[in-house]
Amino acid sequence: MNREEMTNIFKIFMCCVGAIIGAGFASGQEIMSFFVNYGKSGIGGVVLSGILFFVYVYIALKKICLYNITSFSGYFKDVAGKRSADFIQVISYGFMFASFAVMVSGSGAVAEQLFGANTLGIVFMAVLCFVVFLKGVDGMVAINAFMTPLITIGIIIVGIFALVFNCADVFSVAGILKPVTDNFFVSSIVYVSYNTVTLIGILLPLKERITSGKVAFFSALLSGGVLALMGLMLWASMWIFKAELVNVDVPMLFIADKAGEVMRWGYAAVLYMAMITTAVSSGFALLSFLKNRIRINNAVLSAILCVASVPLAYVGFSDLVNKLYRFFGFLGAFVLAVVFLDGLKLKIWQKHLTNRK
Q: Is residue 190 part of a domain?
A: yes
Structural domain boundaries enclosing 127: 3-350
**pLDDT, position 167:** 45
Residue 356 lies in a domain: no
Q: Is 167 exposed, middle or buried (0-12, 13-18, 19+ CB in 10 A)?
A: exposed
pLDDT at 51: 95
Residue 355 domain flag: no
CATH number of domain containing 28: 1.10.4160.10
Q: Is residue 137 exposed (0-12), middle (13-18) or buried (19+ Cβ within 10 Å)?
A: middle
Name the stretches of the chain with pLDDT < 70: 23, 136-144, 163-183, 316-322, 346-357
Q: Does 357 reside within a domain?
A: no
Asked if the structure places residue 310 within a domain, the reply is yes
Q: Does the residue 121 lie in any domain?
A: yes
Between the CA of residue 152 and those of 43, 145, 226, 229, 267, what are the distances in Å? 20, 11, 9, 11, 11
- The pLDDT tens digits of the residues spanning 196-223 come to 877 887 787 777 888 887 888 999 999 9
- The predicted pLDDT at position 296 comes to 81
Q: Do 113 and 265 touch, CB atoms closer than 8 A?
A: no
Q: What is the pLDDT of residue 184?
A: 75
Q: How deeply is 271 buried, as exposed, middle or buried, from its count of CB atoms within 10 A (0-12, 13-18, 19+)?
A: buried
The per-residue pLDDT for 33 is 80
**Per-residue pLDDT at 321:** 67
The count of domains in the chain is 1
Note the pLDDT of residue 176: 38
Question: Using H for helix, E for strand and C for coil, what is the string for the chain?
Answer: CCHHHHHHHHHHHHHHHHHHCCHHHHCCHHHHHHCHHHCCHHHHHHHHHHHHHHHHHHHHHHHHHHCCCCCHHHHHHHHHCHHHHHHHHHHHHHHHHHHHHHHHHHHHHHHHHHHCCHHHHHHHHHHHHHHHHHHCCCCHHHHHHHHHHHHHHHHHHHHHHHHHCCCCCCCCCCCCCCCCCCCHHHHHHHHHHHHHCCHHHHHHHHHHHCCCHHHHHHHHHHHHHHHHHHHHHHHHHHHHCHHHCCCCCCHHHHHHHCCCHHHHHHHHHHHHHHHHHHHHHHHHHHHHHHHCCCCCCHHHHHHHHHHHHHHHHCCCHHHHHHHHHHHHHHHHHHHHHHHHHHHHCHHHHHCCCCCCC
In a domain, 284, yes or no: yes
Q: Is residue 295 part of a domain?
A: yes
